[in-house]
Structure 1
Amino acid sequence: MEHLEIERKFLVKSTAFKNGAISETRIVQGFLNTDPKRTVRVRIKGDKGYLTVKGESNQSGTTRFEWETAIRHAEATNLIDLCEDTILEKIRFEVPFEGHIFEVDQFLGDNKGLVIAEVELQHEDEIFSKPEWLGTEVTGDIKYYNSQLSKNPYKSW
């Protein structure tokens, strides 16, 4: 199936990831729909806008349908106003490590204190090296999905 996203998620146990970061971008995102079968996200990443539809995850939580398209910044801003109540804000760091790029999200606002790293893979069984700052794996744990963090933020756990 085209448009499959295969990724694994981890908590981050130290700020050492910042030493290897090649980019740092502010992200603001909201959800037009948070149903796990069809999540619809609006994102402003830097000066660009995106509309993303994600399907339901497989049993392990590593794979799901994802379709994304770029939209104008002004369109994204208008759509954010239509989103469900909580808007997520985070700083994303891109950190290359031994052939993979780890996207590390340092959350702000109601999710401040939560830092999650994701690595995209070519297939579910792909072997990859884990940097020392990577902590506990949370792949498939729905409470760490951004759509759920918008409903049940980290500060309320």
Structure 2
Amino acid sequence: MIEIERKFLTLSDAFKGEAKRSFRIKQGFLNTNPDRTVRVRLKDDNGFLTVKGKSSDDGLSRFEWEKEISKSDAESLLGLCEEIVIDKIRYEIPYGNHIFEVDEFFGENAGLIIAEVELQNENESFEKPHWLGKEVTGQVKYYNAQLSKEPFNTWKK
């Protein structure tokens, strides 16, 4: 139940041509406290309720618990969420021995693209695709819970 991941910006949208699948995600937060976030997600027609714990000091790992719920329950809970609901398309790209998940954001976060790779341990090495850019692991402003409070379009460029 411990999630270990690294986050990156992208240099281009070349990842789209390498994606094996993609799906639309709408997600909102019932709680964005940094010690524990509670997320409701609608991934295509599947609903999920997720609880995440506080990130480690380096931002690499944190507790995560997820439970599938019905689409109608997810839609109802999205109506109770904090103000900004995240809207994005997630692309899954196999590269080397890993799957990169790249999120292209819309709405208040349009223009932001974040790539993530999940690891088995914090020191695991992985091949980096040519479109992978600057690492932003541990930078709170790139967390979805934070993007729901301070979206990308409000950042000073």
TM range (shorter): over 0.9
Whole-angstrom distance in 1 between the partners of 2:14 and 2:131: 6
SS in 1 for 2:33: coil
* Match runs of 1:25-104 below 5 Å: 25-104=23-102
Whole-angstrom distance in 2 between the partners of 1:89 and 1:33: 17
Displacement of 1:13 in angstroms is: 1.1
Whole-angstrom distance in 1 between the partners of 2:98 and 2:17: 16
String of CA shifts for 1:99-150, please: whole Å, max 9, x gaps.
1000000000010000000000000000000001000000000000000000
TM-score (normalizing by structure 1)? 0.98
Q: Which residue of 2 aligns with 1:7?
A: 5
Whole-angstrom distance in 2 between the partners of 1:131 and 1:110: 28
String of CA shifts for 1:33-72, please: whole Å, max 9, x gaps.
0001010000000100000000000011000000000000
Unaligned runs of at least 5 residues, structure 2: none
1:141 aligned partner, one-letter code:
Q
Displacement of 1:84 in angstroms is: 0.5
Whole-angstrom distance in 2 between the partners of 1:15 and 1:85: 29
Displacement of 1:24 in angstroms is: 1.0
Whole-angstrom distance in 2 between the partners of 1:116 and 1:13: 10
Deviating 4+ runs (over 3 angstroms)? none
Displacement of 1:7 in angstroms is: 0.2
Whole-angstrom distance in 1 between the partners of 2:25 and 2:4: 21
Whole-angstrom distance in 1 between the partners of 2:142 and 2:105: 11
SS in 2 for 1:106: strand
Aligned residues: 155
Whole-angstrom distance in 2 between the partners of 1:12 and 1:33: 29
SS in 2 for 1:31: strand
Displacement of 1:80 in angstroms is: 0.3
SS in 1 for 2:121: coil
String of CA shifts for 1:12-46, please: whole Å, max 9, x gaps.
11011011100110000000000010100000001
Whole-angstrom distance in 1 between the partners of 2:53 and 2:34: 7
Unaligned runs of at least 5 residues, structure 1: none
Q: Which residue of 1 aligns with 2:139?
A: 141
Percent identity over the alignment is 60
RMSD: 0.4
1:148 aligned partner, one-letter code:
Q
